Chain A
Amino acid sequence: MIRFLFKGLLRDRQRSLFPVLIVAGGVFITVLMYCYIGGYMGDMLSTTAKLETGHVKIMTRAYKEISSQIPNDLALSGVNQLLEEVRTNYPDMEWTARTKFGGLLDFPNEQGETKVQGTVFGLGIDLLSANSREKSRLQLEKLLVRGRLPVRQNEIVISEDFSKGLGVEVGETATLISATSKGSMAVHNFKLVGTVQFGIAMMDRKAMIADISDIQYALDMENGAGEILGFFPKDIFQPILADQIRDTFNQKYQNSHDEFTPLMLNLREQMGLGEMLDFIGAYISILLFVFIFIMSIILWNTGLMSGLRRYGEVGVRLAMGENKGHVYRTMIIESILIGIVGSAFGTLLGLGAALYLQEVGLDISEMLKGSKMLIANVIRARITTEAFFIGYIPGVLATVIGTMISGIGIFKRQTSQLFKELEI
């Protein structure tokens, strides 16, 4: 019967083409938006996790209260021991210490006086340890523009835009002027060995990366660090496991009232990411619902119009003894077929557009000038397995609902009136 109905749809394009186009259009937008939002959120989460939050993060309670101010005077101490502890207790995760800092990067002339100077946002990460994955996690090799990455003490890289703005070259001496963890003025010389392009507006404006041991020395933070970040294998966030690890870690210190007690947070608890993820999830659900609703109304109208056109056909079928329910069911099956075909076309088109956005991306760097958010300059869509069938949900549901509502009229047909209608 399905083949029969399908042939009927193919032969009578007037009752199938328009609904197929409607469904294809709606599914196209659904699939494209799903891939776009998924790509954007995925990128943002991944970037934020790698640069800022980790999948879990340990800091002191006091540091957490004003973490946006990077209060290194409230940083973790005994970091080596703490790293040892978490690596033993949670061996499946990767743990790394980092220190953020701000200050001035000053480039001297031959007399040792300031030639040029700029404010800098710095990251002290483990660049020099043999088993550290920080370089690959942050893709520093890929981001390198000039020179090389640090391979020994007192070497740094800065962002390419920052170096161009200051007019400094690789090989020059740079002096970091900042504040130590004790509040003294920190003055420490580095050698600029390379520049990187992060592709993130905030970082590209004024970032510098140094090895954490150099920053510990420069900022008088021996065996200290601002934060310890933990990452799941393959850098894939696992929310339930993150919660468990956080709870078991924090439980050990729950009776301590010391403001320097370590505290672990998971990714969702930082920077409002949890709320953002929930919002995006709700947004996608609402999007799907809206498309289903709108397409249903359109297809309901289409069904009504089709019902008018097929009034005679339905009358003949009823007169020939076909059951009303059977007629209704065949129309629903037709709508499912239309929904599947329309969804297939729409999915194909949507994936095509998403593929383009995935490969080429959307450059929003102009909009991010002055932004402090950790968002990549180029937004890319991401095609996932779900994208191949997410469109079928609104596509098929909408046609079925539309047909179900419009087909109710069949049950109002009076058999006794049929002959009069058919003028038999």
Chain B
Amino acid sequence: MKKLIVFLGMIFIGVNVYAQQQSGAEVLRQIDRNMVIDQAISTSRMIIHGRTGDRTIKSKAWAKGRDKSFVEYLSPARERGKKMLKLGDKIWNYSPEPNDRIIAISGHLLRQSVMGSDLSYEDMTENNRLVDTYDAIIEGLETFEGRQTIRLKLTAKKPNVAYHSRKIWVDSKRWLALKEERYAKSGRLLKTIRITEVFKVDNRWYPKKIIFKDMLSRGKGTEYIIESIDFKAKIPDYKLTKAALRK
């Protein structure tokens, strides 16, 4: 009798975990529906709160699928004309005249900061589906800044992922991760992300203002503000090639 109870208990727990994982996966799919884009053109502003003061960097981005994106920096004057192209897991940085150089970035350099901000190149160009990259378990429900959220724990499925695990608080109506904590394999907290403003574009909710904080740096965080985004714009193929860097 005892053995039967234990056996049934184990089955119950297993089913529960499986069900949670399935639910967790479903939540991730909902997030991916909002966040993963087929193609889009956006303009954004990044306000970097550093130790020596604040800087604002404006940029325009073209993104297509998971692997291709192109960013051109519009201001300040020192950064104007610099461009970044991502194809697959490689990034090329272009620095205009008088330098006129294209520099390839790959490997560990992808985890370096963009423009001294709290975002890495990987953070900035990430367009992978969470459901493909992470296993998710629902830990509970919470209210976060007035919104009902589902708290999930994500663990990477593959070893070569930037963040081994994440905790996310997902708005249960809008399916956006309003708060996120990103961890290394050691369990060390690497980054925190908060979405403080959202907007609706073409029937999907999208973050308008995101605050990134690199927990390993002593700066005061970076605000990433999407001023406009167009999911229906047509992006010509040539735009996402190395040739476009020098145009």
Contact = CB atoms under 8 A, between A and B. Distances in A.
A112 B101 contact: yes
A182 B116 contact: yes
Interface string B83-100: 000000000010100111
Interface residues of A, number: 24
Interface in A173-228: 175, 177, 179-185, 187-189, 220
10 contacts: A113-B102, A114-B103, A177-B103, A183-B115, A183-B116, A183-B117, A184-B79, A185-B103, A189-B98, A189-B101
Contacts of A114: 103-104
B103 A187 contact: yes
Contact of B99 (A183, A184, A188): A188
B51 A73 contact: yes
A183 B113 CA distance: 7
Contacts of A181: 52
A260 interface: yes
Interface of B: 48, 50-52, 55, 78-79, 93, 95, 98-104, 112-113, 115-117
B75 to A, nearest CB: 13
A146 to B, nearest CB: 25
Interface string A74-85: 100100000000
Contacts of B117: 183
A106 interface: yes
Contacts of B79: 184
Nearest to A188: B99
A106 B103 contact: yes
Contacts of A73: 50-52, 116
B102 A112 contact: yes
B99 A187 contact: yes
The winner among A77, A106, A113, A185 for most chain B CB atoms within 10 A is A185
B101 A175 contact: yes
Contact of B101 (A62, A183, A187): A187
Contact of B55 (A108, A177, A182): A182
A292 to B, nearest CB: 56
A175 B101 CA distance: 8
B102 to A, nearest CB: 6
Contact of B93 (A180, A185, A189, A220): A185
Between B52, B55, B102, B112, the greatest number of chain A beta carbons within 10 A of the residue's beta carbon is seen for B52
A220 B78 CA distance: 9
Contact of B52 (A113, A175, A177, A260): A260
Of the listed residues B48, B100, B101, B112, the one surrounded by the most CB atoms of chain A closer than 10 A to its CB is B101
Contacts of A188: 99
B93 to A, nearest CB: 6
Contacts of B52: 73, 77, 181-182, 260
